Structure 1
């Protein structure tokens, strides 16, 4: 039990060391919703690598984190413009999460299906996005 706790603490510490670089990259805004002036948390985009990697992390607001963890709370129309832009991001973690969110929303909303159909993502990003769908 102590080893698991120690490993978790080491991971938390390693993630905290990425904080300044993540904040700089994100310009202190949620990297998915664009919210500013709200508390931000480091989110590791699954599947989580053995060592924390800034390219597999995002800074997200608490409200976005809740939606990622509880996808039934997602209101698709609120994401329409945001995800249509994020899918073209230069950051792979944003692209992967945009794909995941769009795939979830596309189950009920045609606009999300259209955005996914028009997106040209590297196969690696699509594979990453599909490897851990929301709510699984």
Structure 2
């Protein structure tokens, strides 16, 4: 068994697709119309056949309160691995990304937390 897909709940799929591709640098993989919403996945350019991130609509009534509670408590929804958190922080800050936590060294890892503009905090992690 392996992880093939994971999701992030987004408040606007089109905005999320732009942010996750144009800003974060993921590649679009699937974009399938599904009535009111779409099945959109993106992948890392470093692993285009690897795990897909589904940009899942947060239309379920439980989704928005869940996301709001996480953000209010400063808890990231998920984490992405990067080679150098400081370099990625500088690159993304230059692109206008808002960070709720600048890079912090925590023992063997360095982390930072960004706002994905779609209702989530996302942690960047380097081992």
TM-score when normalising by structure 1? 0.30
Q: Which has the higher helix share?
A: 1
Structure ranking higher on relative contact order (CA contacts 8 Å, 6+ apart): 2
Q: Which has the higher strand share?
A: 2
